[in-house]
Structure 1
């Protein structure tokens, strides 16, 4: 998350400007995810350390509680022995008081250790919440990265097509094609003009010969000649 702190702690307006100036959003997003994963690893390590302290503190608490109970039981046993006459009353009272004093000292340690254990456990819960948040952010941004990569591909493809279309128009290709079409039309008209001029350049004899020549008429004449030869 360090990259996002760098981007957004300087203020929203500056952050937006910083984002606009990013040359490669894919690379920057990947770096941001790597930063979040580093933060996740640090948080997991910190939670493990605090959890170890909490476990040790809880073990100490249990030991102190057992010790306090043991001092009380010893005081009771000493007083019972005094009742049976196994030990003098004064000695029993003295030893019982010592045992109860030890119990009180242990109880103070119990209270302190109890507070420390609760504090450690609260810290563990906070760190766990932070870890869950970081994990959620990583999952979110990994999904966002997939979407972003797809959008970049579409954007690049669209940009390239539009660029080609823009360059096509700016290079005058369309106008060139229009000029070529006009040129072809001119050539066709010129060819037709030459054809008409060629027709107009024929002599009177050529026109008469063309008008008089007929393949069908020659065939009819040839047929009549053959018939006359057969009749004669």
Structure 2
């Protein structure tokens, strides 16, 4: 097979497939019905034309018959007046008209037959067109119902192109939602475990840390001050007991010496000299 033949075959096959895909049976049936109606209209016009010709021939025959009757009356009158020559001339003309009338009657009979044939053909064609119209509407209704049922079944089964696109979009949305949920859960777990810091609480965390450190420092100072105060209270008892126990005085003196230092530090912290 030559290259041109192969190209021609491929082109015809592609064109046939495209036409088959683009063809709608309902439109084809409507077009066929339209063509039949046009043909019926032409047949009816033909019947009307034949009937018109037949009627014209009938009128001509009637006119010739009138002329024949007139010539017959003239011939009789000429004979009554002794004019045989005129009577002969009138009868001669009548004979010529008789031949024309015979020919016209033959044409009239022929046209009558054609008219009857066309009338019967028109009636048969009209019945055929009406039957085709009924069949066409039935086929169109059946095709429309089958098409609707097919689309409904495709929609339910999800194999239609539109529903397939919708299903893919829903699947993508579900995948993205699951991915975002997994990411959010992972971040929450990392924040809870301390692997990630909460960016919204960075500044607040520093302030709170400083405040906690300040409170811790103050509590340490207060605890140390209370301990110092607690350590300074036994000093008077040691002084009072020095009369009976001379050996307690050396122990009371070291305890009395550091008492002034916490007081001075407490005054400095309170802002007093």
TM-score by length of 2: 0.45
- Asked if residue 94 in structure 1 is aligned to residue 85 in structure 2, the reply is no
Corresponding residue of 2:191: none
Q: Distance in 2 between matches of 1:37 and 1:141?
A: 8
Corresponding residue of 1:203: none
Corresponding residue of 2:147: 152
C-alpha offsets along residues 179-228 of structure 1, whole Å, 9 cap, x if unaligned? xxxxxxxxxxxxxxxxxxxxxxxxxxxxxxxxxxxxxxxxxxxxxxxxxx
Task: For structure 1, list consecutive stretches of 5 or more residues without a partner in the other structure.
Answer: 1-17, 168-232
Alpha-carbon deviation of 1:116? 2.5
Corresponding residue of 2:129: 134
C-alpha offsets along residues 65-87 of structure 1, whole Å, 9 cap, x if unaligned? 212321331232023213422x5
C-alpha offsets along residues 152-203 of structure 1, whole Å, 9 cap, x if unaligned? 2223323443457xx9xxxxxxxxxxxxxxxxxxxxxxxxxxxxxxxxxxxx
Matches within 5 A, 1:63-142: 63-85=59-81, 88-142=83-137
Higher relative contact order (CA closer than 8 Å, sequence separation 6+) = 1
Q: Distance in 2 between matches of 1:73 and 1:55?
A: 27
C-alpha offsets along residues 33-75 of structure 1, whole Å, 9 cap, x if unaligned? 2222321342133124213312321221221221232133123
Q: Distance in 1 between matches of 2:139 and 2:34?
A: 19
Q: Which has the larger radius of gyration?
A: 2
Moved >6 Å (runs of 4+) = none
Checking the alignment, whether the CA contact within 8 Å between 2:36 and 2:129 is kept in structure 1 is yes
Alpha-carbon deviation of 1:92? 0.1
The count of residues paired between Structure 1 and Structure 2 equals 144
Q: Distance in 2 between matches of 1:103 and 1:40?
A: 45
Q: Distance in 2 between matches of 1:81 and 1:160?
A: 99
Q: Distance in 2 between matches of 1:116 and 1:55?
A: 7
Checking the alignment, whether the CA contact within 8 Å between 2:53 and 2:111 is kept in structure 1 is yes
Q: Distance in 2 between matches of 1:111 and 1:44?
A: 28
Q: Distance in 1 between matches of 2:51 and 2:110?
A: 13
Checking the alignment, whether the CA contact within 8 Å between 2:46 and 2:118 is kept in structure 1 is yes
- Asked if residue 31 in structure 1 is aligned to residue 27 in structure 2, the reply is yes
Task: Give the 3-state SS of the residue equivalent to 1:94 in structure 2.
Answer: helix
Q: Distance in 2 between matches of 1:45 and 1:127?
A: 9
Corresponding residue of 1:210: none
Q: Distance in 1 between matches of 2:79 and 2:89?
A: 14
Task: Give the 3-state SS of the residue equivalent to 2:24 in structure 1.
Answer: helix
Alpha-carbon deviation of 1:111? 0.8
Corresponding residue of 2:47: 51
Alpha-carbon RMSD across the aligned residues, in angstroms, is 2.9
